[in-house]
Structure 1
């Protein structure tokens, strides 16, 4: 007797043309690898979205997107690699803008009308982005092993000063062999020592308030001064972010208002030769940046005070001091070339302020 299909059964869902994996992959580990292999089995091609691209190195994001792409491709055969696209995407500290950037980047790699599906698993609250793409079905896979990049990085920064062989032995069961080779070679670079120092500083920083009844929320101020199509920046003199470009600023003192703290930090870090009355006349407004992940030091809410000093014939004299190793007027047109050298979210904060205050030059 012939067996006929059940007319009431739901139609089978065809496999997607493109599978999308989203993450920071810092570093690429065996859990990521298993997820990618599952996606390759079901889709014609895979787009690996490399988040936190174009940022300065930090203990949380030590590897550039190019290094992470090399990690991914080093684990694939030539045939598999030909089916994988790596898509770098910035952290915009704005979910709607980030989602749109991911959508546009993926769509550019997919034929019109082809099916797209997300591949991933819900690890914790950091996986909530998987719900931000309606229209892209989610293939939610079980967690493939107890792999997590955060403790891997803790092992790698080697706070206990263990022999290199012991560090590599601890990492070996959790990362592909080619990634382990990369991590071993990277330990000989100056960047590794710098990230170790940053990680140690951040551990000490968090330990200082570990006994508080709840995690503190820090309040900071920054000054954004524009003059004659130049922006005043400082180069940080200490960790975290030693050597990176930033807006002049710092923590609010207990007895200072936000305005007083902004003027104090501006003077201490740059010695900017502009009278307070002139700054008051140039003041455009304040923009608040409060993304929970904007700072590795803990929850830090900053208030960027924006000033437009106009088209002065001569830029005000500045000189780095206090926490600033250097103070410098940087042409606005040069800012995009410095994106990977900015501290925390300062590049995006600057962009937002320049867009938000129409009196400033584009």
Structure 2
């Protein structure tokens, strides 16, 4: 009998490589069942997160077919919360609790809590494990080692996103390498390659920052005003109206200017003047979003302003302009995180009280 009933291993697996596989196999020797939480599960594709949760689950299924079939290995998606460790911890705790109860109760012994279940966090690397243990002190600790410590998934992605993709079978199982070879022939890969090339050139053309930007979170009658990006990066994704600060303007004025340029927001009298738009700003909600990895373009710090427009049956009219392909109102309840550019879903989540 293992020391722990369940182990928990968290990773992004972009892609799954032999280092991950070795750690998972080592964990399976110490726990009865291993729950693998696949991070960044509800995000739009980027060169950093090119594979969906479902695609990464396919990779696991090719390598761990027996373990998945016998329920020794269970996969669950977990979304990111870059601005709240508490929210992320809640997602992890909920995913583990629900998985354990559903899995254990199938044996005929009905559990209503986890008091008698031994759970451990499976970690690789002292610093990272220590960080996770601080977030989940109620779980035990399975310390793991791996002989594959000289490369990471980012190295694999760097080789993959080239005009002539390089897929290293020395660090990938044959099954995953074959999956990546098929992926490299897809239209999705070509779109990601275009974005990767754009992002590679960006710091050469503009520097690495830090840069200052603004974003407008505009709410009216249960709807939010969004633009569809017309060019890389994030071409075709939904985004908040916004852009870079001009040298001669205040941050608030920049948010109003970008809102007007990208949406031409109007009422029955015509385009709404800046002073009136300024009156709709809820000053108590203005917030800075500065996660170091929020943009792949470089160090970009944005200031988000919440515009609360008057409730009405007929929403203000909008038209896409500047570098926005389109501007439209969206019902807040219809939106999904994977539709959004960079961290704009997280901004909306925090600013609009979803």
Shorter-chain TM-score bucket reads 0.7 to 0.9
Question: How far does residue 126 in structure 1 lie from its aligned partner after superposition?
Answer: 10
Give the match for residue 342 of structure 2: 344
Determine the C-alpha separation between the residues in 2 that align with 1:77 and 1:313.
53
Determine the C-alpha separation between the residues in 1 that align with 2:64 and 2:155.
25
Give the match for residue 104 of structure 1: 94
Larger deviation, residues 217-226 vs 276-285? 276-285
SS in 2 for 1:22: strand
TM-score by length of 1: 0.86
Residue 237 in 1 paired to residue 240 in 2? no
Q: 1:96 to 1:315 in 2, by over 3 A?
A: same
Give the match for residue 122 of structure 1: 125
Q: Does structure 2 conserve the Cα–Cα contact (< 8 Å) formed by 1:220 and 1:250? A: yes
Question: How far does residue 231 in structure 1 lie from its aligned partner after superposition?
Answer: 1.0
Q: Does structure 1 conserve the Cα–Cα contact (< 8 Å) formed by 2:256 and 2:278? A: no
Give the match for residue 246 of structure 2: 253
Residue 195 in 1 paired to residue 183 in 2? no
Q: 1:126 to 1:42 in 2, by over 3 A?
A: closer
Q: 1:203 to 1:77 in 2, by over 3 A?
A: same
Question: How far does residue 287 in structure 1 lie from its aligned partner after superposition?
Answer: 2.0
Q: 1:25 to 1:135 in 2, by over 3 A?
A: same
Determine the C-alpha separation between the residues in 2 that align with 1:123 and 1:239.
38
Q: Does structure 2 conserve the Cα–Cα contact (< 8 Å) formed by 1:235 and 1:244? A: yes
Q: Give RMSD over aligned pairs.
A: 2.1
Deviations for 1:317-352, whole angstroms, at most 9, x for unmatched residues? Answer: 2111211111111122322xx321111111121121
SS in 2 for 1:195: helix
Question: How far does residue 139 in structure 1 lie from its aligned partner after superposition?
Answer: 2.3
Deviations for 1:14-37, whole angstroms, at most 9, x for unmatched residues? Answer: 611111111100000000000111
The count of aligned residue pairs is 331
Question: How far does residue 135 in structure 1 lie from its aligned partner after superposition?
Answer: 2.4
Determine the C-alpha separation between the residues in 2 that align with 1:96 and 1:85.
24
Structure 1 moving runs of 4+ over 4 Å? 123-127
Give the match for residue 83 of structure 1: 72
Residue 29 in 1 paired to residue 27 in 2? no
Residue 305 in 1 paired to residue 305 in 2? yes
Q: Does structure 1 conserve the Cα–Cα contact (< 8 Å) formed by 2:2 and 2:32? A: no
SS in 2 for 1:28: coil
Give the match for residue 107 of structure 2: none
SS in 2 for 1:264: helix
Give the match for residue 272 of structure 1: 265
Q: Where in structure 2 are the equivalents of 1:1-362 lying within 5 Å? A: 15-81=3-69, 82-93=71-82, 94-110=84-100, 111=104, 112=114, 113-122=116-125, 128-129=131-132, 131-145=134-148, 146-158=150-162, 161-162=163-164, 164=165, 167-168=166-167, 171-208=168-205, 216-273=209-266, 274-285=272-283, 286-335=286-335, 338-355=336-353
Determine the C-alpha separation between the residues in 2 that align with 1:196 and 1:127.
36
Determine the C-alpha separation between the residues in 2 that align with 1:326 and 1:127.
46
Determine the C-alpha separation between the residues in 2 that align with 1:242 and 1:326.
11
Q: 1:49 to 1:184 in 2, by over 3 A?
A: same
Determine the C-alpha separation between the residues in 1 that align with 2:68 and 2:330.
44
Q: Does structure 2 conserve the Cα–Cα contact (< 8 Å) formed by 1:231 and 1:332? A: yes
Q: Does structure 1 conserve the Cα–Cα contact (< 8 Å) formed by 2:22 and 2:146? A: no
SS in 2 for 1:174: coil
Q: Does structure 2 conserve the Cα–Cα contact (< 8 Å) formed by 1:223 and 1:266? A: yes
Determine the C-alpha separation between the residues in 1 that align with 2:195 and 2:345.
20
Q: Does structure 2 conserve the Cα–Cα contact (< 8 Å) formed by 1:230 and 1:329? A: yes
Q: Does structure 2 conserve the Cα–Cα contact (< 8 Å) formed by 1:29 and 1:147? A: no
